[in-house]
Structure 1
Amino acid sequence: MSENKVEKVKHDKSGEHKSAKAGLKRFRESTMATLSKLSKAFLLPIALLPIAGVFLGVGATIAANTTEGSFGYYIGKVMNTMGDVAFGNLPILFAISVAIAYTDDSGVSAITAVVGFLVMNGIQSALLKHETGGTYGLLWWTGVPSGLITSNVGISSLNTGVFASIFVGAIAAYMYNKFHKTQLPAFIGFFSGSKLVPIITFFAVIPLSFVFMFVWPAIGKGLEWFGTNSGKLPVGLDSLIYEVIERSLVPFGLHHVFYAPLWWSSAGGSILGTMEDWAKSSDNPAGWNYELSSGATLQQAYDFLSGDQLKDKSQLIGDQYMMYWILGANNSVSKLAGFADKTDPLLTFTDLEKMGLNLGRFQSGKFGFMLFALPAGAVAMWLNVPREHRKSVMGIYFSAAFTCFLTGITEPIEFTFLFLAPWLFYGVHMPLASISFMLAGFAKVHVSMTVSGGMIDYIVFGLIPWNLGTNAWRVILIAIGMAPLYFFAFYFSVKYANVQVPGRAGEVKLFTKADVKAKKSEKVVGANQEAAIEKARKIIEFLGGEGNIKSVDSCASRLRLTVNDASIVNKDGIMGLGGASGIIAKGTSVQVVYGGEQEVIKPHMKDILAKQRSVK
């Protein structure tokens, strides 16, 4: 072969290699942007959970400790049911939020998602049939367990958790983006534009419904097997592995995508599946006659849970779902024949623990590092600040530590060291947080949470339902043990690695006085409003201008942006405006961590962008 031909072959191969690398890079960037949007979508229904969880837990306690029929009993029952309704309808809320997230907050897409959700479940309901023995038949499937069937907004259909609803929301968003500007011929012109979207979606979800009917009975059983057997790992290893992954995804804002299946699907376990396994276990010689703490037998409880009397079985799967069912109004032995005069819960966390279901294994570990440990880490960082500067930055560190203790919001602390020294996050914080989870799993702690692990959740889900066997006292022991580990690890890491935490060096300025003021109020008026508008304008400029910005959104603590090219984003410029504690820019996704101010910045940015684009 001639030298020219050899060179040509080398050149072609080099070009193919570069093309493949560029294609892989584009794929990673688009995947990151898509998952970032999905994580943001999850935040919409998740934002409802804290208040719903408080109503559920407090209401259940009031109802359980007052005379049935009394004023206090009905107050408790109303509160409990209000919270229960929110959790029982999470699937349709997820469908709506996914549709909204991918269509720039379109109300039409939200209605379309509801239509799609109802149609998909309605098709399944029409083809579902009862079988003898309490099982169901669906298409060619026979013997489908009752745990895989539930009532979705009153429609008996497959219990897919939040999986199917995510697909419904995605279809609704796609149909909206593709057809909401479509002009039909004049004789059917009435159905043009946004009116066309739900009509097309009505038909588009039909294949999706059949896909789930084809595969979900097998997938559901597989997820249930995983949820049951992962809980058999020794010494809390399942909890440790969970937190290694979950905490690693926090900097990218993708942790919501990871924990959703474990919290709200059979991947996190199943009450009915656990009871079936326990009835056959060699450790339970009584079999189905095994007596629960309520006095009912395992068979009586199973018949109630799997029968038609309990239509909504969605909360009998998933780690958080199941914990909230234990706190709910339906968890009462009075529902069984012959127990009408008893007010005891039908099942407790202790009952299920004895059967091998360790509820809270994907939640309870957060209390161990959020109550005392991470705040101790903040104090350790503060003690590394020179004495003459400590007073000026004391409010920043201690307010962040108290926020973490009270509410479980960790980002003000985590992002302080994440952006100054990422190895502190991945090499110190993540391993210690994972140990906290492992200890909670090993100690069989059954304290649920909403979206945090602070003192508020500890009181509501640990202390108030103490009688259900939460083992809440073990949380404090773990938290006390983790606190010195965090303190010394952070103190010496910051000191000897010379990490320039805020206040330690003049040029490091993650937080300012303006940041503290911004956290006290989400509204800026008068002259401050002009400053906020100017700040939004500057952020647009530093993002590369209107032409580089595709969408503007926000979540609990971040301004989430989709851009055409993140490489031209001026991170230093944005940080120099003040208020931000960090920036993640990757591919087409940019996230600016604020902690509250993003809710003011977002609408101003949208207004400015709209004006700039209207001029064009």
Structure 2
Amino acid sequence: MKDFLQKLGKSLMMPISIIAAAGIFLGLGSVLQNPDIVGEAFVSFVAVQNIIGFVRALASALFGNLPILFAVAVTIGLAKKEKPTAAFSAVIGFIIFHITLNYILGLNDLTAETTAIDYLVSNGASQLDATQIASKYEIVLGIFTLRMNVFGGILSGLLVATLHNRFYDIELPMAISFFGGKRFVPIITTIVVPFLSLAMYFIWPILGNGIEALGTIIAQAGIAGTFLFGFLERLLVPTGLHHILNQLVRFTPIGGVAMIDGEQTVGALNIFNTLLAQNNPDLSVMSEATRFLAQGKIPFMVFGLPAACYAMYKTARKGEKNKVKGLLYAAALASFTTGITEPIEFAFIFVSPVLYIFHALMAGLSFLLMDFFNVIIGNVQGGFIDLTVFGIFQGIDTRWFIAVIVGVFYAFAYYFVFKTVILKQNVQTPGREEVVEGNEVVIKDDGNIGQTIVTALGGKENIEEIENCFTRLRLVLKDATLANEPALKATGAAGVVKIDDTHLQVIYGPQVEGIALKVKGAAQFEEK
């Protein structure tokens, strides 16, 4: 189950990467079309504004089609082999899922026309009741269906991935052998997915009410709920399951529900981006959405963790400072600019429970303070880019300066706490590891880091699966105990995590994508 959830978490990050980039374009577009920021003269340039409007339309289209992006991403991420076939089947499964729901709804006289607010009001329903009924449905790829948002994509993606892994290599009798193997996956998808739709027709209203109730509890908890989210989000980092928690607040009622231009919008990130695309967004609604977004991360990602890196550098042994300077500088820069923090976090969370808990508490406090002071900075990463694009560029109403002020205090707090704990408890952060005589590892690296890592993993015959997320090389080995941890760290890894006897994660930071390709090449690893 842990392996499945980790793969699911990684899969959910695939669409988030493009969404984060699209969000930056939306943010820049809203700035360049705001006369209070760029002036009336610039806004009056019709040709330039048309280009900006086109870019915003493209970015908005990505947000409007998130469900199918998630369906494809989940299927690709969970498919063991034949990933192109899995992606093709995911699209088929997603369309069939909603077509089936559309047909069932039609049998019960539920259509886009009969659930429209005006139609319901004209037939005696109150405005409130009509709005609540209409909010239960949406149009996806032109298909009228239940309003399931990204859950519909995730559910259909999970089912298609399961069918794919079970049947992609099936052998059929000679007479129908043409339909065997990977060709069978779209066929079985077409047969099985309608049963999921039928089940969800009855289950989703109950599940949806439950999710909304949970969202109401967190919303009613106020800043306490915001603190709990921030605390748990960092506490789950070692497991990789924080991605799932993030998706729940970004795309489900747990992150909020808002009526925008008469349409129900669900999830903190969806609400923020929908409002961002407007010329005069409701800042009070946007503030409620952003309390789960980038603003809570900025104080500890832009200020706190880079200061922790400096503390680790200052406490390193004299002979080791030059060796760890590059590692800590790169890790601090990644956290500061983009909000990628794992290269720093994995330098201390496994060697110091005190620093781990301190970091999680400070993260929760950061989210709480940004909520308390009504800061309005959205998007997903939390680095200086988000601070600039969604805070500073959006004007003083975002109260971005609060994040900076709190961040300065965070820098001092992280530096002194890290330095004190490291020295008093002799924490083995980078540059302070124990040196065992006669046990020195010598790595022969002729410039081929891929082969070096494969050797450190016990050879290519010990490798069964090679994956990666934003910062980690995720491996399934026949025997994880054969992996040489010091040798892996010598290749530049910030840390090595042994999940169990077969699962291993090596943290390399943002450059992991290229490293994964080199390791696959050296291991002659093919995803057929």
Q: TM-score range by the shorter chain?
A: 0.7 to 0.9
- CA–CA separation in structure 2 for the residues paired with 1:389 and 1:540: 26
Q: 2:313 aligned with 1:350, yes or no?
A: no
- CA–CA separation in structure 2 for the residues paired with 1:135 and 1:486: 58
Alignment of 1:104-123 (within 5 A): 104=80, 106-123=83-100
Q: 2:204 aligned with 1:204, yes or no?
A: no
Residue matched to 1:34: 4
Aligned partner letter, 2:455: K
Aligned partner letter, 2:172: L
Residue matched to 2:53: 77
Residue matched to 1:99: 75
- CA–CA separation in structure 2 for the residues paired with 1:135 and 1:432: 51
CA deviation after TM superposition for structure 1 residue 612, in Å: 11
Aligned partner letter, 2:94: F
Alignment of 1:103-182 (within 5 A): 103-104=79-80, 106-126=83-103, 127=105, 128-129=110-111, 130-131=114-115, 133=117, 145-182=133-170
Aligned partner letter, 1:120: F
1:325 to 261, 267, 274: 274
Give the 3 Å change call, closer, same or farther, for CA 456–348 of structure 1 in structure 2.
Answer: same
- CA–CA separation in structure 2 for the residues paired with 1:445 and 1:394: 34
Residue matched to 1:455: 384
1:433 to 348, 357, 363: 363
The C-alpha deviation readout for 1:88-132, integer Å capped at 9, x for no partner, is: 222111111111112236100001000000011112223232247
The normalised TM-score by structure 1 is 0.74
**Secondary structure at the residue paired with 1:371?**
helix
Residue matched to 2:495: 582
Give the 3 Å change call, closer, same or farther, for CA 388–36 of structure 1 in structure 2.
Answer: closer
More displaced 10-residue stretch of structure 1: 480-489 or 588-597: 588-597
Contact 1:361 1:446 in 2 (8 A): no
**Secondary structure at the residue paired with 2:161?**
helix
CA deviation after TM superposition for structure 1 residue 539, in Å: 3.3
Residue matched to 1:89: 65
Residue matched to 1:541: 458
2:435 to 484, 504, 507: 507
CA deviation after TM superposition for structure 1 residue 397, in Å: 2.7
Contact 1:327 1:465 in 2 (8 A): no
Residue matched to 1:471: 399
- CA–CA separation in structure 2 for the residues paired with 1:153 and 1:266: 22
Give the 3 Å change call, closer, same or farther, for CA 135–251 of structure 1 in structure 2.
Answer: farther
| Count of matched residue positions in the alignment of Structure 1 and Structure 2 | 498
Alignment of 1:354-503 (within 5 A): 357=288, 359-386=290-317, 390-391=321-322, 393-425=324-356, 427-450=357-380, 452-466=381-395, 469-503=397-431
- CA–CA separation in structure 2 for the residues paired with 1:388 and 1:564: 37
- CA–CA separation in structure 1 for the residues paired with 2:217 and 2:526: 56
**Secondary structure at the residue paired with 1:84?**
helix
CA deviation after TM superposition for structure 1 residue 483, in Å: 1.8
More displaced 10-residue stretch of structure 1: 256-265 or 383-392: 383-392
- CA–CA separation in structure 2 for the residues paired with 1:86 and 1:378: 36
Give the 3 Å change call, closer, same or farther, for CA 62–596 of structure 1 in structure 2.
Answer: closer
CA deviation after TM superposition for structure 1 residue 608, in Å: 5.0
Give the 3 Å change call, closer, same or farther, for CA 611–444 of structure 1 in structure 2.
Answer: closer
Cα RMSD after superposing both structures: 2.9
- CA–CA separation in structure 2 for the residues paired with 1:267 and 1:613: 37
Contact 2:172 2:179 in 1 (8 A): yes
- CA–CA separation in structure 1 for the residues paired with 2:96 and 2:45: 39
- CA–CA separation in structure 1 for the residues paired with 2:243 and 2:216: 22
- CA–CA separation in structure 1 for the residues paired with 2:217 and 2:87: 37
Residue matched to 1:572: 485
Residue matched to 2:474: 560
Contact 2:457 2:484 in 1 (8 A): no
The C-alpha deviation readout for 1:561-590, integer Å capped at 9, x for no partner, is: 123554x34343543542212112123421
Give the 3 Å change call, closer, same or farther, for CA 39–87 of structure 1 in structure 2.
Answer: same
- Unaligned 5+ segments in structure 1 are 1-30, 137-141, 273-301, 307-312, 332-343, 509-513, 516-523
The C-alpha deviation readout for 1:360-403, integer Å capped at 9, x for no partner, is: 33442101111111111211222223556545543433332232
CA deviation after TM superposition for structure 1 residue 596, in Å: 4.3
Give the 3 Å change call, closer, same or farther, for CA 132–97 of structure 1 in structure 2.
Answer: closer
**Secondary structure at the residue paired with 2:306?**
helix
Alignment of 1:182-197 (within 5 A): 182-197=170-185
**Secondary structure at the residue paired with 1:541?**
coil
**Secondary structure at the residue paired with 2:348?**
helix
Give the 3 Å change call, closer, same or farther, for CA 559–85 of structure 1 in structure 2.
Answer: same
Give the 3 Å change call, closer, same or farther, for CA 613–207 of structure 1 in structure 2.
Answer: closer
1:222 to 195, 210, 224: 210
The C-alpha deviation readout for 1:490-512, integer Å capped at 9, x for no partner, is: 1111111112332346739xxxx
Aligned-pair identity in percent equals 30
Alignment of 1:251-330 (within 5 A): 251-272=238-259, 304-306=261-263, 316-328=265-277
Contact 1:537 1:605 in 2 (8 A): yes
Give the 3 Å change call, closer, same or farther, for CA 444–571 of structure 1 in structure 2.
Answer: farther
Contact 2:306 2:336 in 1 (8 A): yes
CA deviation after TM superposition for structure 1 residue 443, in Å: 1.4
Give the 3 Å change call, closer, same or farther, for CA 71–384 of structure 1 in structure 2.
Answer: same
Give the 3 Å change call, closer, same or farther, for CA 115–135 of structure 1 in structure 2.
Answer: farther
Contact 2:89 2:189 in 1 (8 A): yes
Q: 2:513 aligned with 1:599, yes or no?
A: yes
**Secondary structure at the residue paired with 1:156?**
strand
